[in-house]
Structure formats: C-alpha cells, structure tokens
Amino acid sequence: MVFDTEKFIPGQSVDCVIVGFDKEGLKILILRWKLVGLWGLPGGFVLKSEDLDKAATRVLNERVGISLPFLQQFHTFGKKDRRANETRFSHLSKMQVPQTFLDWFGQRFISTGYVSLVNLNDCDPKPDHLSDLIHWCPLHELPDLIYDHSSIVEGAIDFIRNQINYLPIGRRLLPEKFTMKELQQLYESILEKKLDRGNFQRKMLKLGIFIRHEKHLEGGAHKAPYLYSFDGDKYDALLKKGIGFAS
C-alpha cells in the first residue's frame, strides 16, 4: 500500500455512519480490520486538495465501494483523549504498512461525522484492502468498536431522531413500495417507542404525499394491506417545512 502523508491535512479525518433498515430494525454498516480483528466505521483522511464533503464521499467509495445519494455532516468529534485508550492498533505492524502510515495513524485526530440513509437493497458494499469483512449489524447488537466510534453511532442516531421531520428517512430507508405498517415500524425503530397504529396512519394520509397502489397479497386477500409510494415532488416540498408526522 502506498501512503503519501503529505497529501493529507494533519489531524483531520471523517467517519461515516451508514444506516439501513429492514423488518428487524435499523442496521449500521461496519468494517473489520485485517489481521487485527477490530470493528469500526468506514473512515479516512482529508486530502489538502478537497472539500470536507468531497472527502467523505471519496472515503466511502474507497472503503466500502459505494456512492451514496444522501450524506450529511452531523457533528465534529474532538475530545483530546478520544483515541488515547486504544492500544489494540499496536498490531497494525502485522498488516505490513509503511512506518509513515503508523506514525500518521498514531497522532491525535479530530473527526467530522457524516450520516447516510440507504436502502439495503440498493447498495452492494464491499470491504477495502484494509478490511477482511463488512457487515450490516443491528443497531443494538454492535460489537465493541474502535476509538469513540460507538459514540459516533450514538450521535448519528440522535441526529436522525432530532431531525426526523427534516430528513428523507422514508424515501431513503424504505423500498419504492411499502406498507403503512413498514413505515410505522421505521419510525418506531428511530424513535424507540410504540406509535398508535390508527393515529399514525391518519396523520400520514392527511399529508397527501403518498400514492396508493395495489394491495400486498401475502396474506388473505381480504386482509391484504395497500402498498404506497411517495409522491416525490410533494414529499420534497413538505420536507423543507418539516413533515411532522411522528410525535
């Protein structure tokens, strides 16, 4: 691996929390480092020649091989001891990386956190040359992550929860067609509380941002729920004001 430290801004990095959703709940994309066996978020350094947002986009493409339609900065993590207690990377020498990389990696870093919302069926992440495994892990089953990456995940979920009415969570996390039950499950997973089914659906349908399709015929036809999709223009217009359908 060729690593030219002169190309990067000293002490600056980006870490990305990629969030997906299925019937089991929210999922977080994590990588396992080769030989060392440690789990962490996809992250990397910032080139002197690029904007911060461009760095996050490039890092994700390099680390997991995907380009994301939605990527938003949510917080900067700069505690002076955020990496002080991490000694497990002493085994990085096993990876046969240059000493310049080890020296660079050992300095203090201030990291900017980015969050992305993705449909699990629309992306096919792959581990990079530093990793031997990539995994969509349930939010509440995350392993011990390196440095303060657990805090970064918590910060990302808090950001999504606090900005739930202004983020395109439905359009990004659900398939193109979905049931109202699936939409409710998504909001319950983010808010971590049960929502009344009748009230939720009434508030949803009042917004006028849905297109109703044929019934979903997995069960008996008389019980089959309708499928819905978002009216893109109406959804985007309402999102700017704050959708406000979960309270």
For residue 152, CA distances in Å to 43, 76, 81, 147, 218 come to: 11, 9, 14, 10, 39
Q: Do domains 5-162 and 169-241 have the same CATH topology?
A: no
Q: What tens digit of pLDDT does each residue of 1-33 get?
A: 456 888 999 999 999 999 999 989 999 999 998
CATH T-level fold of 169-241: Arc Repressor Mutant, subunit A (1.10.10)
Supply the Cα-derived Rg of the chain in whole angstroms: 20
Q: How far apart are CA 88 and CA 84, in angstroms?
A: 11
Q: What tens digit of pLDDT does each residue of 84-121 get?
A: 655 555 556 666 667 777 777 778 899 999 999 999 98
Which CATH code for domain 5-162?
3.90.79.10
Angle between helices 197-206 and 180-191 (to 10 degrees): 110
**Residue of 21 and 69 predicted with greater confidence:** 21
Q: What tens digit of pLDDT does each residue of 121-153 get?
A: 888 999 998 899 999 999 999 999 988 999 999
Sequence ranges of the domains in the chain: 5-162, 169-241
Indicate the burial class of 46 (C-beta count within 10 angstroms; 0-12, 13-18, 19 or more). buried
